[in-house]
Amino acid sequence: MATGIVAHGAYVPKNRLPLEEVRRFWGGLSTPAIKEKAFPSYDEDPVTMGVEAGRQALERSPFGAEELGAIFFATTSGPYEEKPNVSTVASALTGSSRIRVVEMGGSPRAGLQALLSAWEFSASWGKPAMAIASDAPIAHPASSLEHGLGAGAAAFVIGEGEGATTLEAVESISVETFGERFRRRGQSYLQDLELRQDELTGSVLKAIEGLMEGARISLSQVEALVLPDPDGGTPARIAKALGASPEKLLSLTPRIGDTGAASVPLGLIVALEKLEAGKRILVCSYGAGADATSWIVGEASIVSRQRGRSLEDILERGRIRSYGDYLKLRGFLVQKG
The H or E element that residue 201 is part of is: helix 199-215
pLDDT at 196 (0 to 100): 53
CATH of 3-164+300-329, one of 3.40.190.10, 3.40.47.10, 3.40.710.10, 3.40.50.10490: 3.40.47.10
* 3-class DSSP assignment, residue 326: helix
Pairing assessment for the beta strands 100-104 and 70-74 based on DSSP bridges = parallel
Pairing assessment for the beta strands 165-174 and 3-11 based on DSSP bridges = antiparallel
The domain spans of the chain are 3-164+300-329, 166-299
- Asked whether the domain spanning 166-299 has the same topology as the one spanning 3-164+300-329, the reply is yes
pLDDT at 337 (0 to 100): 44
pLDDT along the chain (337 residues), means of 10: 95 98 95 97 97 98 97 96 94 94 96 98 97 96 93 98 96 84 80 71 95 96 97 96 96 98 98 97 96 97 92 95 95 68
pLDDT at 153 (0 to 100): 98
Fold of 166-299: Peroxisomal Thiolase; Chain A, domain 1 (3.40.47)
* 3-class DSSP assignment, residue 254: helix
Q: What is the pLDDT of residues 239-255, one digit of tens each?
A: 999 999 999 999 999 99
pLDDT at 234 (0 to 100): 95
